[in-house]
Structure 1
């Protein structure tokens, strides 16, 4: 047994067995150190606390995300009895119903049908049209706090932009923003390592309220269609089929959650890593190419979503590990972004870096549908912040939220 120099991490390279408490603040505050240690000792490892095999190597994660022997769903090809899987919990039935037709949780052919109907709205050329709106909103928010000389960036800026833009896109009134944020925060609590019964109850309650609200919006758009994504999803056929009400609810909820939660984290993470680097922001944002590279480098080194799980759909062997149907595997996207075989000096923030593409948005059929929108928002709001607020600096030690396997800040106090 080898004790790692990190007190919260124990690695046995001989058995590829790892003990790591995902709820330890020393870990989730700076997970990159642990990922570096795992790359050095065993990039494929069995995480004792999670009771799962995990992969961190870039090529391994990249290929697994595209490997059709693995999928997000398993009950389309096997029963709970066959897999020894417990029955769903009664106290999360509303959450489970909202997830039942989620794009994130489906495999073809259902995934293909849903994604085809939604995809058109998210392709780059459609998203590009939102550029003036994003710029206008960001400028108006900065106008509101510029004279103060200080700001808590998440509540005054980062929280507002992504939820406003995705709500506009879908066709939900902007004044619903604060309520959408509350529902979303409760909802994604189901995916966190610190999840408790109270978190599950909150997620279920919010899932029901969220679904009821979306159901009312659907009824309104059936009667009064508009030029928005919700109307498009209701009235557009794919191979002669319309989306069912349950599919519309699940899809709307997943788009709202995914459309802002990760981007909020990423705006905060990016500003923090830029300011802590001590490098000149003016050089990072001198033109579109420099800006794009800076954004991609922040996505690489401080990704907002760290883990993506999949089920084994048929017997497979990966890196010498045999998996049978129904086994779950974990891919640590944020660790793959730090693979020293792909990235020179991987723990260093280098905005001019031009190496492999980061895997922060995933890959394969579940590649993040909102990636073009998230990238556009980041490429607009980050340069704008540093241009409008010269002398921007940290006004206190940023505190990382206890939301692993997401990665974001509790608050980000800045001054200028």
Structure 2
């Protein structure tokens, strides 16, 4: 992270109100000083810019994520589905996919779909993907390890997870560029200040993505393979419990949520490790020398600088939080995941990257993957991708160093680098 510890100039906390522009570069380039000041002031205030009660304390964030009095939506039907009937016509294709997304559902529909997806994931045995992930990582590194400089976001962080997901869902790797383009255009809907052009691009991407997947599902219905789509089709046919539109939305979610977050975390983790190495003189490869050390280091990168900084929840009934804060049904809370991961009440030296922190089994659980029924279903795959991506990169490029100061994108809550220019050094 940047060594600039100044608060954003518009940061204000007064009378339970937080004033802070999430699009101010002084904030999104390094939000952690603002988080620290917010935590010192109690970690809970109304944040008008996001239209919600912002919560940063680790204990509160963790408990709200698991509290069934809060949900992703406030359902007005017994199926727990969102009502998108009022959405504009030019976003019809986008919201047709969102209507079946796990992120927009509550029980009982969420329970049914998540159970089917979990079954398909378990049957795939994520660990079996490890050799494929390592081979993809090595092939990408082959393309830049002897270069003078390389943008690791473009050359490594972005292509690796989309190639993994292409293998996972059983489509040719040649389709990866299209998958990546659709994902970028759809995820742009969640960034602040979206434009009509952003909306039209997202809707076109949703339409094309859904059409592509319908063809994939039709082909695999006739000739199943050893892939996630085939496993979901099998679940679909077992008792007619998974509709075709639901299946397509599940696959879109896996790509959009899983890919985008993993890209950002690879970039954030590499930056964190290189800055730690430069400051301490330690060898980056040393913190990945064993499986246990690598797992702990990956977890610490997820705590220290995670890709997702905000989860929204809605009160499903009147709730009183600690401190006497009362919420009515439908009130929104903004859970600041990255702030909770830097809460000094939960972690010693929270602003220090300590690669071995999670070798201690008593360390608090991180909030990077959410919690409760909406805990990230792709967390095991994300952790495996991160561990392999980092291990292979630092093993193959032992002289890797930053070439320029990393700069983050104007997308605050989805926190990731615009580019990561690095000098790979020479392979040994």
Q: Same fold (TM over 0.5)?
A: yes
Question: Which range is displaced more, 347-356 or 158-167?
Answer: 347-356
Q: 1:349 deviation in Å?
A: 1.1
Alpha-carbon spacing, 1:124–1:239, altered in 2? closer, same or farther (3 Å): closer
Residue pair 1:315, 1:324 contacting (<8 A) in 2 also = yes
Secondary structure at 1:112 match in 2: helix
Aligned with 2:163: secondary structure? helix
Q: Number of matched residues?
A: 406
**Which runs of structure 2 are paired with 1:248-287 in the superposition (5 Å)?**
248-277=247-276, 278=278, 279=280, 280=282, 281-287=284-290
- The structure 2 residue matched to 1:384, chosen from 389, 392, 410, is 392
**Pick aligned residue for 1:309 from 309, 312, 315:** 312
Superposition pairs of residues 17-416 of structure 1, within 5 angstroms: 17-77=17-77, 87-123=86-122, 126-237=125-236, 240-277=239-276, 278=278, 279=280, 280=282, 281-319=284-322, 320-354=324-358, 355-415=363-423, 416=425
> Which secondary structure state, in structure 2, belongs to the residue aligned with residue 130 of structure 1?
helix
Q: 1:5 to 1:368 in 2, by over 3 A?
A: closer
Shift of residue 147, structure 1, vs aligned partner = 2.1
Give the TM-score normalised by the residue count of structure 2.
0.91
SS in 1 for 2:364: coil
Unaligned runs of 5+ in 2: 1-5
Stretch deviating more after TM superposition (275-284 or 32-41): 275-284
Q: Distance in 1 between the 2:170 and 2:234 partners?
A: 14
Per the TM alignment, residue 51 of structure 1 is displaced from its structure 2 partner at its CA by 2.1
- 1:11 alignment partner in structure 2: 13
How many Å separate the matches in 1 of 2:378 and 2:85?
Answer: 33
What value does the CA root-mean-square deviation take over the aligned residues? 1.9
1:216 & 1:150 partners in 2: Cα distance? 40
Q: Contact 1:310–1:328 (CA<8 Å) still a contact in 2?
A: yes
Distance between the aligned counterparts of 1:266 and 1:315, measured in 2? 36
CA contact (8 A) 1:124 1:373 kept: no
Please identify, of 51-60 and 222-231, the stretch whose mean Cα deviation from structure 2 is larger. 222-231
Deviations 1:231-289 (A, max 9, x none): 11122259833311211121110011122110010000000111112242133112122
Q: Is the 8 A contact 2:309 2:337 kept in 1?
A: yes
Provide, for residues 168-194 of structure 1, a one-character-per-residue CA deviation record: whole Å limited to 9, x for no partner: 111122111111111111101111123
- In structure 2, relative to structure 1, the CA distance for the partners of 1:236 and 1:51 (3 Å cut) is closer
The alignment partner of 2:46 has SS state of strand
- How many angstroms does 1:124 deviate by? 10
Q: Tell me the distance in 1 between the aligned counterparts of 2:73 and 2:179.
A: 27
> TM-score, normalising length from structure 1?
0.93
Instruction: Give the SS at the match of 2:145.
Output: helix
**Are 1:189 and 1:199, in contact at CA under 8 Å, matched by a contact in 2?**
yes
Deviations 1:84-110 (A, max 9, x none): x99222222211111001011111111
The question of whether the paired residues in 2 share the 8 Å contact of 1:71 and 1:107 is answered with yes
Native 8 Å contact 2:7 2:26 kept in 1 = no
1:117/1:238 contact within 8 Å kept = no
Q: Kindly state the Cα deviation for residue 125 of structure 1 after the two structures are TM-superposed.
A: 8.1
